[in-house]
Structure 1
Amino acid sequence: MQKVIIPEVADRQTDHYLTKRGYEVLKVDNPDEATILATAPDVAGIMMFVAPFPNHLYDKLPQLKVLARYGVGYDSIDVDYAATKGVWVTNTPGANATSVAENAVTDIMLLAKRSFEISTLMRQGQQRAAKQIFGHELAGSTVGIIGYGHIGQAVAKMLSGLGVKTLIYNRTKRPTEFGEYVDLETLLQQSDFVTLHIAATKQTEHLLGEREFSMMKPSASLINLARGSVVDEQALIKALNARQIASAALDVFDEEPLPADSPFYQMDNVFLTPHTGSSTVEAGQNMAMGAAKMIDEVLSGQKPEWAVNEPQV
């Protein structure tokens, strides 16, 4: 019986799918390096959250055949190196698109209405000060979407009924009725809200930095539900402190969990969430079941539908 390590929550979300398929399922809280080695060095398949999977770990797991990401991004795994070790890496494209897109639109609304600032002041007993803050209508504004995969497309569709102009920056120009493709500079210069939904790769690392923030309107806001590495975090902190841009809603960071001494905690123009953009019941079920099916496909001798690499041995 082949052994599989999966997060305990995923076992519940899939109604014990892999157990029913005949695998020995070993449930853990979070499959990181120490947990994996302590649980089953002879594991054949692992369902991964976002914990890094270091390259030296493959030689300690001789039976490993598949790493199935619970989610879309796979920047915590060196997929090319995994292929040299004969290990498939898979993800679950589109499984969390609706949830992340809804959160992005929610964040845009929160920043437009300045709801976080108003609520914070009210909780502090400063209702008079709270009443002096005025937000803006979203209608008539321009939203720039960087990255037009499943999530970016869902954001554009949701925004289409809100009276906004939508600009899109993406390497591949997929057909769309919900926005206009422009270059990155045009998007940054014209957008009132810039929302990030681009994959974390070497090419997109620090895609937005000091130069890019200088192009944005002083009244503009940034929303990041992609990955922390897409943004130069220190440049963003500088831009927010100097009010070079107005505000930000951030769900992802260079270091997660976000350290307690991060300057972001002290900023009244930043709305923070702890990488929970896809934390809905529906997205969780979709991601868990998708990842479980990828494990089953590999371990039953099939080519996985959602592979992001091609093992060489």
Structure 2
Amino acid sequence: MAPLSIVYLDSATIPSHITIPTPSFPHHWTDHPQTNAEQLDERLTGQHIVITNKVVLDAAILEKHPQIKLIAISATGTNNVDLTYCKQQGIRVCNIQGYATRSVPEHVIAMMFALRRNLRGYQQDIEQGEWQRQNQFCFFTHPIQDIEGSQLGIIGSGALGQALADKAQALGMNVVFSDRKGASSLRPGYQDFETVLRESDVISLNCPLNSNTKNLISSTELSMMKSSSVLINTARGGVVDEQALVDALNKKQISGAASDVFIEEPAPLDNPLMLNAHLPNLILTPHVAWGSDSAITKLVQILIDNLNAFVDGEPTNVVI
């Protein structure tokens, strides 16, 4: 067969110490650490297979390149690709699933412990000399809450949500899954969305970003939560109204929050979360919950397996 042209538009999303396997079919591979909108048209020219993590591929750009046969998303989320157009034009789209079922839940658990025990607040107090001012062998400027015996409400019951539930139950937490917001009837094993918000000590967002989940958590939802509860978002930035979250923290409507994701990435300095990064009860990480070495090694192997399977006529991890 004639070699296929493959372009990786944002390969810098894979750490340099992780080796990407080589596809088993004849190919020409072009690698770009990053690609902006102005570079996209040129870099798609003549390419048959396009690999993207976060570079946006919409109908306006895809219609200029009818030779594209496969879009391989090197992540789980698909909101950066116009799936409707791809389906209409017969462009196959595949993604990567199940690679971070250790990494993301462990990141959530780490954030949960840090927030419930107010580790960041105590670190800041020590840095600012509070221990010396208190003049005691210890001091309690922030409440310390246990994990065991508390309730974790999970919004999103896919592989990541289920893996998180297993780890949380092993820690002695009561785990509940939320049904879809506004659901007319509850699915077996799920609780009402608003009930989960009201009764849980920790809310973890593990759902995709789509038209139903955009701003899923805003001022109304935050006002339902316990004042002692915390919110953790490792899903997508758009699932949470960022300004509403900051307002809830400043008003002490909730006890703390952690976010690994932002509406715009990298987050601009005037992003509401970035402007309030100094808060002792706010933890921010740069979209790395998925990124343990073992998870990324698994990801790149699945990525290349997806390419090989497509060329073999038996595509795997198909989105459309």
TM-score (norm 2): 0.87
Task: Find the counterpart in structure 2 of residue 144 from structure 1.
Answer: 153
The structural deviation recorded for 1:234 is 2.3
Task: Find the counterpart in structure 2 of residue 306 from structure 1.
Answer: 317
| Counterpart contact for 2:95–2:319, Cα < 8 Å | yes
Query: Is 1:187 aligned to 2:196, yes or no?
Result: yes
Deviations 1:146-193 (A, max 9, x none): 101000000000011211111111459998xxxx52110110010010
Task: Find the counterpart in structure 1 of residue 285 from structure 2.
Answer: 273
Query: Given the superposition, is the C-alpha separation of residues 163 and 12 from structure 1 closer, same or farther in structure 2, using an over 3 Å criterion?
Result: closer
Decide which moves more: 118-127 or 139-148: 118-127
The structural deviation recorded for 1:68 is 1.0
* Aligned residue pair count: 303
1:13-52 matches, cutoff 5 A: 13-18=18-23, 20-52=24-56
Deviations 1:109-166 (A, max 9, x none): 1111111122233334444478333411111111100101000000000011211111
Question: Which SS does the other structure have where 2:296 is aligned?
Answer: helix
Mapped partners of 1:135, 1:116: distance in 2: 12
Query: Is 1:288 aligned to 2:293, yes or no?
Result: no
Deviations 1:48-92 (A, max 9, x none): 112222221112223211111111111111211111222111111
The structural deviation recorded for 1:279 is 1.2
Deviations 1:277-310 (A, max 9, x none): 1111111112222122222322x2514211111x
Query: Is 1:135 aligned to 2:106, yes or no?
Result: no
Higher RCO, Cα 8 Å, sep 6+? 1
Mapped partners of 1:3, 1:31: distance in 2: 17
| Counterpart contact for 2:242–2:272, Cα < 8 Å | no
Question: Which SS does the other structure have where 2:249 is aligned?
Answer: helix
Query: Is 1:120 aligned to 2:128, yes or no?
Result: no
The structural deviation recorded for 1:10 is 7.7
Letter in 2 for 1:208: I
* Moved >4 Å (runs of 4+): 171-175
Letter in 2 for 1:2: L
| Counterpart contact for 1:220–1:247, Cα < 8 Å | yes
Task: Find the counterpart in structure 1 of residue 237 from structure 2.
Answer: 228
| Counterpart contact for 1:31–1:47, Cα < 8 Å | no
One of 79, 88, 94 as aligned partner of 1:90: 94
Letter in 1 for 2:265: E
The structural deviation recorded for 1:99 is 0.6
The structural deviation recorded for 1:22 is 2.1
Letter in 2 for 1:152: G
The structural deviation recorded for 1:204 is 1.3
Letter in 2 for 1:60: K
Query: Is 1:60 aligned to 2:64, yes or no?
Result: yes
Mapped partners of 1:55, 1:124: distance in 2: 53
Mapped partners of 2:29, 2:261: distance in 1: 30
The structural deviation recorded for 1:94 is 0.8
TM-score (norm 1): 0.89
Mapped partners of 1:289, 1:16: distance in 2: 7
| Counterpart contact for 2:178–2:191, Cα < 8 Å | yes
Mapped partners of 1:78, 1:40: distance in 2: 15
The structural deviation recorded for 1:105 is 1.0
| Counterpart contact for 1:71–1:96, Cα < 8 Å | no
Q: Percent identity?
A: 29
Letter in 1 for 2:5: K
Deviations 1:5-60 (A, max 9, x none): 12264897454322x53211111103554444343511111111122222211122
Letter in 2 for 1:110: A
1:207-286 matches, cutoff 5 A: 207-265=216-274, 266=276, 267-286=279-298
Query: Is 1:2 aligned to 2:4, yes or no?
Result: yes
Decide which moves more: 123-132 or 256-265: 123-132
Query: Given the superposition, is the C-alpha separation of residues 5 and 12 from structure 1 closer, same or farther in structure 2, using an over 3 Å criterion?
Result: farther
The structural deviation recorded for 1:274 is 0.9
Mapped partners of 2:215, 2:199: distance in 1: 20
Query: Given the superposition, is the C-alpha separation of residues 239 and 42 from structure 1 closer, same or farther in structure 2, using an over 3 Å criterion?
Result: same
Query: Given the superposition, is the C-alpha separation of residues 215 and 134 from structure 1 closer, same or farther in structure 2, using an over 3 Å criterion?
Result: closer
